[in-house]
Amino acid sequence: MSVFSKIKDFMNRHQRKFLIGGIFIAGSVFAVRYVENFMREWQKKEAIEFIERARKQNHFEAINNTCGETTLNISASLLDKMYETVNTENLILTLKSNPKNKVELWNQLKNQVFIQAACIIYSLVILVVLLKLQLNIVGSYLYKDPTSIPFDMQESYLSLSQHFINVGVKKLANTIENKVSSITENVELGKKMKLSDLETIFWSLQGSLDSDEEGPVCNLKSFIFERDVPTSDDLLSSMLKDTVDLLESEEVKYVVVHLTNRGFMLLSDQLSEFFDQSEPKIKELPRAATQFNNPLMNKKPLAKLIPILNGLLSRTSLPQNLLQDLRTNEKLQTLCANVYESLLV
């Protein structure tokens, strides 16, 4: 038998094996090529998504940087309006002249200081929340289409903050004044108070404002919008409607309450330093003395605390500290990120 006959006979006997092997090899090659193509497409898709995420992140961070700078600029005008609306300096100047009705004026100063404290906290919180919401709304539209919002439309939309400064701050001060009068009317000037007593006044005031259906939390939009939002289909009306929907949402209300709470906590922290200024730090104690003197249990007459509290409300104290805290607040950042992402869908 020739070599070729043997090969032919071998092929005939193992034909099934060769067929199955050929199919297996061809299938393996196809599978490898399919996996290679799939991996290339997947990597390409992942690269595109990564670039898109990075672009969104950079854009979002740029919006927040812009918001920080804008807030610093506009907050100066807001504080000017607030100090003009709730003025304690004129009362202090009058008291320095030793008038006959100084007890009455001291009581007025007591109320004005608490009104001013709450007004600073609520007005700065509202301004920062409003600006962050607005700039993220504008930013999301511009991300999708950089030519979608003309400059004059942006100016018109962002002028809401100016209306809040010109009109809303006065309305806010009046709302706070009504609450403060009922909370502090029975607190005598000579009453000795611990820090916790002052904090009780702060929390009572905050609780009363936050639960008021017409207050700066439940009805926040009334302090910002002069009239009802137009119902037309143009882009400006759409942005205004988005803003109203957000201001009325539970998420924004929660953040506003959280931020105002932070403001009163910052004020309490600053006040605590003055309750720790009683006895000298180094002092020889009797051997039997073992009791720790907690400075937060110290008491001071309210009449002495009023000038201290008034001093903490100057531009370089509570307002500056609160603005810094608001710029980096995690809950506010998360809210803005959610707003930005939701409008890109």
**Is the per-residue pLDDT at 87 higher than 70?**
yes
Long-range CB pairs of 40-46, under 8 A, 24+ apart, other chains included: none
Helical H segments across the chain, by residue range: 3-13, 15-85, 89-96, 102-144, 151-158, 160-163, 169-184, 195-211, 235-247, 250-275, 302-312, 318-327, 330-344
What pLDDT does 26 receive? 67
What pLDDT does 144 receive? 84
Q: Give mean pLDDT, residues 207-220.
A: 94
Alpha-carbon gap, residue 215 to 323, rounded angstroms: 22
**What is the pLDDT confidence band of residue 293, given thresholds at 50, 70 and 90?**
low
Supply the pTM of this predicted model. Answer: 0.82
Identify the residue with better confidence: 282 or 17: 17
What pLDDT does 280 receive? 46
Per domain, the residue ranges of the chain are: 69-344
